[in-house]
Every structure is written in structure tokens, then in C-alpha cells.
Chain A
Amino acid sequence: MDMLLQALSSLLTIESILTVLVGVSLGLFIGSLPGLTATMALAVLLPFTFSMEALQGLIALGAVYMGSIYGGAFTAILINTPGTPSSIATTFDGYPMARQGRAYEALAGATMASVAGGVVGVIFLLILAPPLARLAVAFGPAEMFWVAMLGLTLVASLSSGSLLKGLLAGCIGMMLSTIGVSPIGGETRFTFGFPPLQGGVELIVALIGLFVIPELLTMAAEGRGALPSGGEMRKRELSIGRIARQIFGKPVNLIRSCLIGQLVAIIPGAGGNVTSLVAYNEARRFSKDPSSFGKGNLEGVVASESSNNVMVAGSMVPLLTLGIPGAPPDAIILGVLLMHGLRPGIDLFTETGVLTNGFILSMGLAALMLLPVGLIGGRLIHRVVIRTPYYFLVPSIAMVTILGTFALRNSFLDVGIMLALGTAGYFLRLIGIHAAPIVLGLILGGIAEQGYVQTMLAAVADPVPWLRLVENPLSKVLAGLVLVGAASALIPIWLERSGRLAKVTDTTEANRNREGEV
């Protein structure tokens, strides 16, 4: 406790508070640009932290991390483009809300959910780091395989309308994930003798291509911006107090999403990309009105944004206790720790506890800072996006997108892949195959492959190698969840098809996407 107070006092200096404020704003800006990820934001900042003291450097990095994960929500809501992979699920309801003129409601909701998530994550980290770390290492190759499988059952709920099309999209994604050097074995696959393809399809490249380009093409084809103009929106603008009441009045959704965020965040390798998708899916499953999801339900935005901001501090659990980066940006934080001679482990919480606690508390401060920065910044960005005519908006977004894609790996091939996937994505969307399950397949295909192959390799000496997949208690539980998940998706459809259940599927989603054609 003493340590905590000391840490708090070292944090409450003008210098530290300014560092957090600047860090959060910078992170927000970078995170909201498609192609510039949280990892990249941290990498760019890294050299600047060398000249700082250890604590200041870590505070800056923590604040940028928090800001950039949150910043992804802006573009997700306003232009249907997740600024970072962790805000994919925010697009599902955030963008429909924006199209209904409820953009500011969605932005404010996302902000409050992010603040709540960020703070909850910090509290978990302060109180429960050691036991959570023990849970984290229970996830070995077999468990990772099941986690990926569990994620793939989401395809069913992401494919509004047609399960078959959803599965098809998932398969496309998984096939894309096999391009390049295989994660285990190191063979080159599907490079067609073209060396640059060894690098495979980078997730962010696919993300930008599949989400942004179809949106831009649609805007151009319709000849108008996707969002209703300012006047209409003002009348509908809700007071912040009412939005807050809506979110915190019935906190079940928020609490559930935070817990899911924390659990998934500690699994090394799954990270924020998966947290928000899982939280969204559960929010929908437990909702009284699941069919309203995907059409502008604030609950969906809250689930996604709260869970991915829990992940920021949540993924520090395995990092600070064991030195295992839970999400890609954590690898950079690990580098900074090592550079300052701080070895992850129990020492971080005892010997250098003041520093560590200062760092953790600063993330809490960064989360709180999101509220003013986000509400003011959100209003500004929202106004810019709405007021800008589409014929300026489309080329500017296209420009940023292409630059961002190139900057990712300094590769023109990536730009080509992005544009190709984007064009394909536009036509796939017209026939009802959506980007989300494709990206899901791309993310999870690699994780599943790796877990499966590693498990099978470890089991070469066993009489029945497959049993290794369900050897540990945790993998048995996960396998059970996969079965339940698959059954809950498939059985209603089967019942419906065989006529034992009245047909309830609605086709609004499909209609919404066809509007532009007519």
C-alpha cells in the first residue's frame, strides 16, 4: 500500500500528467488512422523515450497505447474502418448508428466504455496480476488451437442471414492465412515463385483492404457521403448524461465485456484482435433482442470498446509477471523494460514496485484522460467527417489508407494486395459475403494451425496423438465450449430448415447493403 501511495505521488506531477495527456492525444490520432497501428505508434515513440527516465518513458508508452487502441473506434464508427484490428467489432453497430445520424451517441458511448474498460483493466492488473499470470501460462499449444476454434464459431453469428456465405468467407480468410512462410515448418506456400510473397498477407493490410476500400467504392458509387448531414444529426444528439445512464444504468453488458476482455487479454498470442469479437458475440448472445445487433445497437459498441481497452492493461499481466507479451504492442514495452534493466518477474512488484505501480497507475490516468480528450476530439472529428463533402473525403481517406499500408512494412506489394483485396471485397459484399468473417479466418487460421501442428509434434511418441488435444482440463473445457458454440449456431438453422421453427431471419442487413445499387 505504501508503495502504491509513493507511486501515486510520483505520478501526480505536472510533468507526468502532461506526458499522459500528450501521449493519449497522440495515440488517439495515430490509432484513428487506418494502417497506423498501436504497435507502430509505440515503435515510433520508442527513440524519444530513451532520453527520458524509466518511469516517464513507460508512462508515455502506456498513454499512447491506451489512446491508440481507443482511437481505432473513431474510424470504425465514422467510416466503417477499424483504425486498429481490435476495433473490428466496433464497426458492426457503430457504423449503422452513424448512418442513422447517431454517430455522436456511438462515439460518446465508445468513449465511456473505453474509459470504464481501461480503468477496470488497471484494477485487475494491480490486484490480480500473479494469479492471472498462472492462468495465462495454462494456455499451451492445444489450448490455443481450441481458442482459435472457439473464435471461428463466431463466423456463424457474424454472417447475418446466410450461414453458408459466412462459412465461405471464413474459409477465404483461412486460405489467405496460409500464404507465405508457414508458422511451423518454415516451408513457403502459395508464393508462386514470387519471393516477396514469403511475407504473406499481413492482417492490417487485409483489414484495410477489406473494410476501407469497399466503403470508399460504395461512397463513390452512390455519389454521396455515407453519413447524414449535420443538421439532422443535431436534433437527434443526445445529452452525454443520457448516454451515460444508458450504459451504466444496466451494467451487466459492461461487466461481462470487461471480464471477457480480461480473460482473453492474458492469453498470449490472442490479444486485442480477438477480445472485442468475443465480447461482442457474447453481448449479442445474452441480449434480449439479439436481432437488433448489427443494426445500430449501442450495446454492441460498448461491448467491443470496453473489452478492447481492458486488454491494454490486461495484456500487461503476462508481460510484467512473466515477460510474455500478451499482444503485439507489448513486445515493445518489454524491450523498454529490458533496456532500463527491469527484468519482468516478481521483482518488478517488490524491488522496483514503485516504478511498476507508477506505470500501472499511469495507465489508469490515461484511461480517465480519454474522457475529455475523446469527447472533445470526437466532436471535432465527427464534425469534420460530416461536413466534408464525399468528393473530398473519399480521396483523402484513400490517400491516408495507401500511405498507411505502405508504411506498415515499407512494401508496395502490400499496397497492391490491399487494393486487390479491397476490390474483391467490394464485389463480395455485393453478393452478401462480408469482410468480418474473412478477417476472422485470417486472424484465427494461423493461430489454429500453429496450435494444432505443435500439439501433434509434441505427441509423436504417443499411441494416439489426437488425444493430446484434449489432455489437459483446460483444453477439455475449451473443446466443450467449441461444441456448445457450434451447436447453438447450427441447431436453430437446422430446425428452421426442417420447418420445426418459424422462420425469423430478417433480411434487413442484406437490403441495407443493396440500397446503393438501385
Chain B
Amino acid sequence: MKFIRKPLVVAVSALAVVGMSTAVQADYPEEDITYIIPFNPGGESDVTARFQEPILEEELGVSVNVTHQPGGGGAVAWSQFQNNAEPDGYEIIGVNIPHIIGQPIQRSDAGFETDDWRIVTFFHSTPNALIVPDDSPYETLDDLVEDAKENPEAITLGGSGTYSANHLDMLRFEEEAGIDLTYIPFTGTGPLKGAIEGNHLSGIFNYTMLGTEMEDSARVLAVASEERVKALPDAPTFKEQGYDIVGGAYRGVAVPKGTPDEVVETLEEAFAKANEEIASKQEPLGFVMEDITGEEVDEVVAMLREAYEPILQSASEED
């Protein structure tokens, strides 16, 4: 089936470009869509998908079923999806950067390839943020850098996961500032809060959401975004303070390579609409709404891959 379908797809896409997209679009979607979340229920990806679900259903006119397939930091679902999913747009899957960049470099058997996605859109990002508790001696980023120069490796920063967005950007920060910190990976953001409230860490290198969540008990020393984040207007960026670090996690949705363009466009529009409606709920939490589609997706992936690849390569060689 697949082989016959491919030329057809090309022909159909050519027609679409000529301007017959409406006629073809009418066919999709006709059946229910399965939206796979490769993580546990209750995480950011899941909560966002639950927000999107009703709006997507309204936009697309079919049921959208959110299912979970957690395991291996997402890799279980991703490898299965790349191997099995049909390129017809009825199965879509949540994808995260840097996970889909980092895992294939770091693991010999991740089971999926970074380039084998057709990414529909990245709908939001969560920039990294360096957070310290209220009673921390570090009032500014400079205080922390200074102390780290005197006491290498003594400052412990907790983050979510190994070679995650948190970890990779902390390594970049070490390099830019010429300091040595100690990164301690935790599984998810939940335990991080406890670790900092209980004084088990000097600080946290996590996402902006945790910064807004812990507003009353912690300080955000720096945010790894181009501009200040809406929910944290008083928190300076790394760039303002002389460190060229922009990064974080990007969440989006992908379909198998070879999915027809008009299917992808329909999904793009539905997700953009969903974003509009949920922005008022998500932005105050520290999310940055995005609408990265088409060629921009490749640019973002390429930009972050360039930033992270050397770190990941040297790390896997050390092992």
C-alpha cells in the first residue's frame, strides 16, 4: 500500500499548491484522531493536551482521543510511532525538544531518528530559568558566578532529567561563565520543589513555570529566553547579563514523514486556534506560546541541535 500511495501523495500535494486545497481538505478528518502523549498523565504535556482536546474537536469536527504511552523519557512511544504509525494524520504524537534531539545522539538504541518526523507545530516553549530560594546568599547571577569561581563544584543545582533542556543549558552556562557547578538530575519538577524548600540544593535550573509557581518562596536569577517572560517581568534574561543562552523545552506535535501537506495544514490551523484560546490560561503559568510551523521548525531544530550536539557528543565519548 505504502508504495502506491507515495506518488499519489506527491500528485495530490502538487494539486494543492495549484490551489485546489479546499477540495482535498474536505476529506480530512473523517475519523477520530488519536493524540499520543509519550509521558505520564499529569505532566505539562498531558495537561496541555487536555486543554487542547475540546478546541481541537470543535475545529476538526471529530473526536480527539488523548492516550498515554509513557516510558524511556518519551522514547518508547516515539520509536513505536516512527515504526508503525500510518502517514494519514489520524495518529498524532506529542514531541519535545531537546528530547528528540538528545536521545538519538546519546543512546545507541533510542529507536527513532530526529529527522524522521513531520513536525506539525511547536505550540509552546518553556524557557529555562535559574531559581534560588528566598534565603539564598545569591541576590544576583553575578553573586552566584563569583562564589562558583571560589568554590568550584560546591554549588548544587537541581534540574529535571539528564541531558535534558535544563542540564544542557546549565552546561552551556558553565562554559560561558567559566565556572564549575554540580548538576543533580531529578525525575520531573515535583520533587525539585521539595528539594529546594528543604534546603537540599543551592538552587534549581528548571523552567519558568517553576519560577512563577514558587514566586513567594524563591528568586529567579536569570531566564534563558530572548526577551523577558510575561509571567516573570522582574526576572532578567541571561542575555541581559552577558551570557548568550537561549533555550528550554519546546512542546509540539508531529505526524509520520510522508503525511500529505493539507493534512498537516489542517492540523496546524487547529493547533493555532487551540493556542489562541488557551493562552490566557497558560501564559500566567510561565509558558511562552509559540506558533512554529513549516520551515521555522527546521530552523529551531537546527539551531538547538548545533548548540547541544557538541555537549552531547563529548558526554557520550566520556562514557
Interface on A for B, CB 8 Å cutoff?
A: 39-40, 42-43, 46-47, 50, 136-141, 180-181, 183-188, 191, 193-196, 198-200, 202, 268-269, 318, 322-325, 328, 331-332, 334-335, 338-339, 341, 343-346, 409-411, 450, 454, 457-458, 460-461
CA distance A344 to B213 in the complex (A): 8
Known contacts A46-B50, A335-B46, A461-B151; A195/B73 CB under 8 A: no
A461 touches B194 (CB 8 A): no
Query: Closest CB-CB distance, B197 to chain A, in whole Å?
Result: 4
In the complex formed, the residue of A with least CB distance to B102 is A186
Interface on B for A, CB 8 Å cutoff?
A: 36, 40-43, 46-47, 50-51, 53-54, 67-73, 75-76, 79-80, 106-112, 151-154, 156, 161-163, 182-187, 190-191, 193-195, 197-198, 200-201, 213, 216, 281, 284-285, 319
Task: List the 8 closest A-B pairs by CB distance, nearest first.
Answer: A199-B71, A195-B111, A198-B72, A331-B42, A140-B200, A137-B198, A186-B162, A43-B41
Known contacts A195-B111, A323-B213; A180/B185 CB under 8 A: no
In the complex formed, the residue of B with least CB distance to A319 is B190
- Helix, strand, loop or mixed for chain B's interface? mixed
B153 touches A460 (CB 8 A): yes
CA distance A328 to B108 in the complex (A): 31
Q: List 12 A-B contacts (CB under 8 A).
A: A140-B194, A188-B72, A195-B111, A269-B191, A328-B40, A331-B43, A334-B42, A335-B47, A341-B284, A410-B68, A411-B71, A461-B154
Chain A residues near B68: list those with CB within 8 A.
43, 409-410
Please count the residue pairs between chain A and chain B whose beta carbons lie under 8 angstroms apart in the complex: 169
Query: Closest CB-CB distance, B189 to chain A, in whole Å?
Result: 9
Chain B residues near A338: list those with CB within 8 A.
47, 285
Query: Closest CB-CB distance, A38 to chain B, in whole Å?
Result: 11
In the complex formed, the residue of A with least CB distance to B278 is A339
Q: Which of A181, A318, A454 meets B186, CB within 8 Å?
A: A454
A196 touches B194 (CB 8 A): no
CA distance A231 to B285 in the complex (A): 61
Chain B residues near A458: list those with CB within 8 A.
156, 182, 184, 200-201
CA distance A181 to B103 in the complex (A): 11
Q: Which of B51, B156, B193 meets A339, CB within 8 Å?
A: B51
CA distance A334 to B54 in the complex (A): 20
Query: Closest CB-CB distance, A54 to chain B, in whole Å?
Result: 13
Chain B residues near A318: list those with CB within 8 A.
194
Chain A residues near B281: list those with CB within 8 A.
339, 341
Known contacts A181-B72, A331-B190; A196/B42 CB under 8 A: no
Chain A residues near B187: list those with CB within 8 A.
183, 450
Chain B residues near A322: list those with CB within 8 A.
193-194, 197
Known contacts A43-B41, A325-B190, A335-B47; A200/B109 CB under 8 A: no
CA distance A490 to B170 in the complex (A): 46
CA distance A180 to B194 in the complex (A): 26
B41 touches A39 (CB 8 A): yes
B42 touches A409 (CB 8 A): no
CA distance A138 to B194 in the complex (A): 8
B40 touches A331 (CB 8 A): yes
Query: Closest CB-CB distance, A368 to chain B, in whole Å?
Result: 27
A325 touches B69 (CB 8 A): no
Q: Which of A180, A186, A268 meets B106, CB within 8 Å?
A: A186
Chain B residues near A184: list those with CB within 8 A.
162, 185
Chain A residues near B162: list those with CB within 8 A.
184-186
A335 touches B42 (CB 8 A): yes
Query: Closest CB-CB distance, A445 to chain B, in whole Å?
Result: 14
A268 touches B190 (CB 8 A): yes
Chain A residues near B184: list those with CB within 8 A.
141, 454, 457-458
Query: Closest CB-CB distance, A295 to chain B, in whole Å?
Result: 38
Chain A residues near B285: list those with CB within 8 A.
338
B41 touches A332 (CB 8 A): yes
B42 touches A195 (CB 8 A): no
In the complex formed, the residue of B with least CB distance to A196 is B76
CA distance A185 to B67 in the complex (A): 28
B50 touches A324 (CB 8 A): no
A324 touches B76 (CB 8 A): no
In the complex formed, the residue of B with least CB distance to A181 is B72
CA distance A461 to B162 in the complex (A): 20
Known contacts A193-B109, A194-B109, A458-B184; A339/B47 CB under 8 A: yes
A50 touches B50 (CB 8 A): yes
A199 touches B70 (CB 8 A): yes
CA distance A411 to B153 in the complex (A): 42
In the complex formed, the residue of A with least CB distance to B216 is A345
Query: Closest CB-CB distance, A336 to chain B, in whole Å?
Result: 9
B76 touches A199 (CB 8 A): yes
CA distance A181 to B72 in the complex (A): 5
B47 touches A137 (CB 8 A): no
CA distance A199 to B185 in the complex (A): 18
B185 touches A198 (CB 8 A): no
Chain B residues near A191: list those with CB within 8 A.
109
In the complex formed, the residue of A with least CB distance to B185 is A184
